[in-house]
Amino acid sequence: MLVSRRKGKENKNITVYLKNKPLVQVTQIKYFGIILDHKFRVNEHITYAAEKSAKLIYSLFKAAILPWGIKYEAIANIYKGVILPLLIYGSPN
């Protein structure tokens, strides 16, 4: 991934070789579990975390409405232990 402080003046067609083999240039990377694009924005990471947590919440909802159902305390524990850390990982606070 090409990272530069210059605004729009960098040559984006640079070929970098490692052991005489060209490296593939990508537009985003995953660094410590956070997806960053070439301008260090986290929009893709936010989308990824929102989609993953939505799937988990939907699964919890389906399990809670079954006749035998999951109790409220168990749902709260799963939310606090699985979904909340997924959403707040990498946040500044």
Give pLDDT tens digits for 76-87: 898 899 999 988
47 part of a folded domain:
yes
Cβ atoms of 81 and 75 within 8 Å: the answer is no
Domain ranges, residue 74: 17-88
pLDDT over threshold 70, residue 8? no
Q: How many domains does the chain have?
A: 1
5 part of a folded domain:
no
Over pLDDT 90: what percentage of the chain? 37
30 part of a folded domain:
yes
11 part of a folded domain:
no
pTM for the structure as a whole: 0.72
42-57 average pLDDT score: 92
Encoded amino acid at 79, one letter: Y
Q: What is the pLDDT of residue 64?
A: 81
Among 81, 79, 48, CA closest to 64: 79
State the alpha helices, DSSP H only, in the chain: 43-65, 72-78, 84-88
